[in-house]
């Protein structure tokens, strides 16, 4: 079995790398985390993930949210 993290196999994890890049740039680096404890950061992460799926429109999805696109395709949300 091949490892997904193996050198030269970037296509295996490209979607997750893209997601984590977005998470870092839109969630972590755009906020001031001074004075926020672990529980507070987890609450904020949960809110951001919920917004990412149901509130953030994407040009690649025809200006729909990921949840809206799944509904349009007949998938469970």
Summarize pLDDT for 21-56 with one digit per residue, the tens.
Answer: 999 999 999 899 999 999 999 999 999 999 999 999
Quote the number of domains for the chain. 1
Is 62 within the bounds of a domain?
Answer: yes
State the Cα–Cα distance between residues 18 and 7, nearest whole angstrom. Answer: 17
Is 68 within the bounds of a domain?
Answer: yes
* Domain assignment of residue 68, given as a range: 41-77
Summary mean pLDDT of the chain: 88
pTM of the model: 0.72
What is the signed CA dihedral for 65, 69, 75, 77, rounded to 10 degrees? 10
Is 90 exceeded by the pLDDT of residue 57?
Answer: yes
Is 14 within the bounds of a domain?
Answer: no
User: How high is the pLDDT of residue 53?
Assistant: 92
Tell me what the mean pLDDT of segment 6-34 comes to: 84
Is 11 within the bounds of a domain?
Answer: no
């Amino acid at each position: 079995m091949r490892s997904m993290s193996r050198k030269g196999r970037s296509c295996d994890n490209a979607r997750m790398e893209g997601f984590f890049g977005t998470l870092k740039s839109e969630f972590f680096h755009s906020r001031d985390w001074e004075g926020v404890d672990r529980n507070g950061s987890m609450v904020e992460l949960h809110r951001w993930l919920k917004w990412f799926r149901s509130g953030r429109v994407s040009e690649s999805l025809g200006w729909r949210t990921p949840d809206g696109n799944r509904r349009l395709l007949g998938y469970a949300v």
